[in-house]
Structure 1
Amino acid sequence: MVDEVLRQFRALCAIPRATFHEEACAEYIARKGLEYGCKVVRDGKNNVMLEKGAHPGYGHRPLLILQAHMDMVCKKEPGHEYDPLRDGIRLIEEEGKITADGTTLGADNGIGVAVILEILRGAVPCGPVRGIFTVEEEQGMGGAKNLDASWLQGTYFISLDWTSTRTSCIGCAASRSIRVKKNLRWRPPKHDTAFRLKLVGLPGGHSGLDIGHVRRNAICEMVQILQNIQLLGVNIELAGIEGGTAGNVIPDSCMCTVSATLDKEEELKELIAVMDGQLNADSQLAKESVHLTADRVRQPGKVLERKCMKEMLDFIQSVPDGVLKPLPYEGGLVQLSANTGKVSVEEDLDLVIMARGNEEQLLDAYYSRIQYQALRYHMIPEQISREPGFASAPDGKLIRKVCGIYKAQNKEELIPEAVHAGLECGYFKQKNPGLELIVLGADLKDIHTTGETLYTERLRLLCSLLEELLGTIE
């Protein structure tokens, strides 16, 4: 089954499927469903449901619902030519693993889509199967949020949006997405030279799964750099700042344009060199490759008014970021975290933050703090989405069955765990509280980054587990 799943995955990688632009992928999945003899339903959001009846002799088996999301985080390395609305992913296949050429791979969650399509193709004798393929998971979970609850009628539900064959997920955190805006005031620059500051090479990562590791945030680092430059005596004007891609991605780079007086050029360059050296010293401890550079550019036509610039930088620095509340035992999960995920300054400031927590009151308190800070700095905060968490009973029939098969096949335990990340399962459980729900997946590393890797050698563990489960579930 592994070779066939990888063929399905290669075909998916040729289809652009950025969040909010999944039409081509939805059309492809619907065509495949017709080709495989499935009942096909496609809703107004481009969610797709494929349903196939039982194989001969398996009519007594219960319906199993399998789910994955179509969309992917689309990132590219600096200077790499890639249009996520037009281009597919160029794969680099090596022994035991697959990566992408200069972009994210999209195995999150393309490999889950591929597994379900292969099962629906009919390769595995089994009872009735329903495949649900959702959209907009990576930004707001709009597909799951708007999914028709009738699609979730059933008892056994497996999501394939996981990143390990050694563990399974039986719970996830709730989250809030917050957008902060500020009407900016501009004026012509008073200084006579300009520089483009670039901070690149931070590892980035998933704002839930990776937030507990010591991962620096490029936006927060750049704001600190700008403030340090001024504290050390170089008067700068700010013409713009751009960093990050989404609330659920830890920013790995940030760029800004500053204006300074010509007589401060050498001093500014020396400061940047010193800061670059310090960043590199820290990055060597974390096995990163961080670089801060300053290049001369054309003088901008406008810069922020000084008070406006100070308010913006002070606010971003005041935003609580990273792990905010760990569980009170060693090695525990994170109770509350936040990620300053995206900043852009054109005419106005647009800042996106994602907070995650295992208790609603913690998230309420965090948003209240953002509201208070925003008021101080004349900002406009808005909670743009709130996703529920979920928790499955570890002794449920489906979970016990899955864990039993895994142990028999691999002579080791499949470890059920809760995760400090958002999953669509929160919405699925909300729409059908009776679902017995577990999340499984292939082995992935560095999702949401250009280093994303799919480990193909262990894909057989997932395939073997599903094959036996499909044929024996009762």
Structure 2
Amino acid sequence: MGVLEGLKPERVFYYFEEICKIPHGSYNVKAISDYCVSVAQSLNLEVRQDEEYNVVIRKPASEGYGEAPVLMIQGHLDMVCVKDAGVDFDFEKDGLNLVVEDGYVHAEGTTLGGDDGIAVAMGLAILEDNAIAHPELEVVFTTEEEVGMEGAIALDTTDLKAKYLLNLDSEDEGHFLAGCAGGVKATAVLPMSCASAEGTAMTLRVHGLVGGHSGSEIDKGRANANILLGRLLFELHEALPFCIISVDGGDKDNAIPVDSKAEIVVSDEDIDEIQSLAAAFQEKVRSEFHVCDPVIAIDADVRAEGGYEVFSMALTEKVIFMLMQVPNGIQTMSADLPGLVESSLNLGILKTTEEGIVMTWAIRSSVKSLKTLMMDKLRYMTEFLGGEMTFRGDYPEWPFNPNSKICALCKKIYEEQTGNEASIEMIHAGLECGLLSEKMPWLDMVSMGPEMYDIHTSRERLGIASVERTYELVLTVLKEFKNYCN
């Protein structure tokens, strides 16, 4: 028996569990892509798979729906792979350990991949059910969404006929999205410059943070572990001499980092002072973030005495300067849509390599010129310090469309089915809708989905009852589509 057996809708959760058995982190999607192709072939449906492992499956309209416009159902195959410290789990090889608890599905010690596995599961369940009334469908599963929407960038849309798009990559039930931010990944490298030092090695560690999605949760006021590490190093640097062996924090540019550390070398007589300063820093930042990040922990642990290769003094100054001065978090709020974050960036990855100190940001904005401004700020600072800046995965914003027919249909059906008020909104996060609208500018689009919490973290959980409501909503949209969208 499957862990999710008996949950409703049964076929949606069947496919979701099958997907969770297949490792499908970004850049490891061939197996899940092949699985979707095999399902389509078993249903005798037209299917194509490209070199990026994007999958396009077509299903003819059901009886009475042949004159309705073609509708695309779309989601992405890859998931963010994050696990708790100390968890023995290999995302390249292991299936997820699913748990049903208190009305939610989560994975033990890791991300769940509900973002966006639930879209794939719903799409496959719809394709296999011939009792569903629907227009002609183009079910599109893209790849590498979580690392720059690379699959959507490469997707050939010349043979697609859809006039409307139902994107199932949202995590807030009853909130129907009609616009999103654009974004780009930025990576700075400060060239390595080494020296030698003798003394006692210590590990400074910032951990215990809440973290979260760097777009949809950037407005929650949560701390960034890499930025706090920079502050800690600055305060220590102001008080006493030390050398840096390495700095490392975060592993996903689109996740607010929850853990960051520095290996340093100090004189024996300064150990107590460093630990005292670290403890004082912990109390200070806990006070600053007492509502949003109340259990921040700062450790200063002694390792061993010896000789070490360390950053040169010049590189040490540059790293501390950049971590202290670089922009991070919300930059502007929208004047058109009150309460909406307009522009932000997140220092998600900090690491030490043989080539140098590498820092990677996720930049987001619903205004193209402001996205360019943040890119210019990072590039100017990096080059001023003698480093090199590169950008990749640039994707466009999806301009807000308050008059979307398919959004209005979803809102109407949701309110009729639940009795709850729905809203049509824009989101400060990247969606593939922006790229698809650039390729297919005639598309009328909506993004929606069941409730999920703490995506991109090991606390990610998917609401079981919400999945059932959302799937029923999707089926009703398919049924009523021909009467409202033309």
Q: TM-score range by the shorter chain?
A: over 0.9
Alpha-carbon distance, 1:433 to partner? 0.3
Kindly state the Cα deviation for residue 396 of structure 1 after the two structures are TM-superposed.
3.0
1:465 is matched with 473
Other structure's SS at 1:239 match? strand
Match of 1:46 in 2: 53
Q: In 2, are the aligned partners of 1:145 and 1:427 still within 8 Å (CA)?
A: yes
Measured in 1, the distance between the counterparts of 2:324 and 2:136 equals: 53
Change (3 A) 1:156 1:79: same
Counterpart residue number, 1:411: 419
* CA distance in structure 1 between the partners assigned to 2:335 and 2:368 by the alignment: 18
Contact 1:318-1:373 within 8 A present in 2 as well: no
- Equivalent residue in structure 2 for 1:380, among 388, 409, 415: 388
1:305 to 312, 317, 322: 312
Q: Distance in 1 between matches of 2:284 and 2:325?
A: 23
Of residues 420, 439, 457, the one that matches 1:449 is: 457
Unaligned 5+ residue runs, structure 1? none
Instruction: Check conservation: 2:451, 2:466, Cα contact below 8 A.
Output: yes
From 260, 280, 283, the equivalent of 1:274 is 280
Give the aligned partner of residue 291 of structure 1: 297
**Residue of structure 2 equivalent to 1:165:** 173
Could you say which residue in structure 1 is the equivalent of 2:92? 85
Kept in 1: contact 2:24–2:32 (CA 8 A): yes
Q: Distance in 1 between matches of 2:373 and 2:285?
A: 33
Instruction: Name the CA distance, whole Å, in 2 between partners of 1:283 and 1:318.
Output: 20
Bigger mean CA offset, 323-332 vs 464-473: 323-332
Task: Tell me what 2:17 maps to.
Answer: 10
Q: How does 1:191-340 map to 2 (within 5 A)?
A: 191-233=198-240, 235-286=241-292, 288-298=294-304, 299=306, 301-328=308-335, 331-340=338-347
Cα distance in 1, alignment partners of residues 229 and 336 from structure 2: 33
Q: Which deviates the most, 78-87 or 140-149? A: 78-87
Cα separation, 2, equivalents of 1:392 and 1:268: 50
Q: 1:129 to 1:353 in 2, by over 3 A?
A: same
Offset, 1:411: 2.3
Show the 5 A alignment for 1:145-156: 145-156=153-164
For the residues of structure 2 that align with 1:300 and 1:344, how far apart are their CA atoms? 22
Paired position in structure 2 for 1:142: 150
Letter of the structure 2 residue corresponding to residue 236 of structure 1? F
1:37 counterpart (31, 44, 63) = 44
Alpha-carbon RMSD: 1.8
| 1:188 aligned residue (183, 196, 205) | 196
Alignment partner of 1:165: what SS?
coil
Question: What is the CA–CA distance in structure 1 between the aligned matches of 2:13 and 2:172, rounded to whole Å?
Answer: 17
Give the 3 Å change call, closer, same or farther, for CA 328–157 of structure 1 in structure 2.
Answer: closer
Q: Which runs of 5+ in 2 are unaligned?
A: 1-7
Change (3 A) 1:152 1:429: farther
8 Å CA contact 1:172, 1:422 repeated in 2: yes
Seen in structure 2, the aligned counterparts of structure 1 residues 151 and 144 have a Cα distance that, compared at 3 Å, is farther
Whether the 8 Å contact between 2:333 and 2:339 is mirrored in structure 1 is yes
Q: Report how far residue 42 of structure 1 moved.
A: 0.3
Shift, 1:279, TM fit:
3.5
Aligned counterparts of 1:375 and 1:302: Cα–Cα separation in 2? 25
Tell me which of 116, 123, 143 is aligned to 1:116: 123
User: Contact 1:392–1:437 at 8 Å: present in 2 too?
Assistant: no
Contact 2:234 2:324 in 1 (8 A): no
- State the TM-score, normalized to the length of structure 2: 0.93
Using structure 1 for the length normalisation, give the TM-score.
0.95
Q: 1:398, 1:437 within 8 Å by CA — same for their partners in 2?
A: yes
How far does residue 287 in structure 1 lie from its aligned partner after superposition? 5.1
Structure 1 residue runs of 4 or more that deviate by more than 6 Å after TM superposition? none
One-letter identity of the residue aligned with 1:182? L
Task: Output the CA distance in 1 between the equivalents of 2:225 and 2:242.
Answer: 20
What is the Cα deviation at residue 59 of structure 1?
Answer: 3.3
- Secondary structure class of the residue paired with 1:162: coil
* Conserved? CA contact 1:182–1:349, under 8 Å: yes
Deviations 1:277-298 (A, max 9, x none): 3334445432532211122324
Are the counterparts in 2 of residues 74 and 104 from structure 1 also a CA contact under 8 Å?
A: yes
Q: How far is the alpha carbon of 1:32 from its aligned partner? A: 1.1
Amino acid at match of 1:77: D
**SS of the residue aligned with 1:366?**
helix
Distance 1:221 1:133, change over 3 A: same
Q: Distance in 2 between matches of 1:185 and 1:62?
A: 61
Distance 1:280 1:339 in 2: 20
Residues 252-293 of structure 1 show CA distances to partners (whole Å, capped at 9, x for unaligned) of 110221111112122222222222333344454325322111
Task: State whether residues 37 and 52 of structure 1, in contact with CA within 8 Å, keep that contact through their aligned partners in structure 2.
Answer: no
1:396 aligns with 2:404: yes
CA-CA distance at 1:421 after TM superposition: 0.9
Report the number of matched residues: 472
1:128 Cα deviation after fit: 2.1
Decide which moves more: 265-274 or 153-162.
265-274
Distance 1:291 1:300, change over 3 A: farther
For the 8 Å contact 2:343–2:370, the answer to whether it is kept is yes
In 2, are the aligned partners of 1:152 and 1:428 still within 8 Å (CA)?
Answer: no
Q: How many angstroms apart in 1 are the aligned matches of 2:286 and 2:378?
A: 32
Shift of 1:349: 1.3
Distance across 1 between alignment mates of 2:416 and 2:278? 58
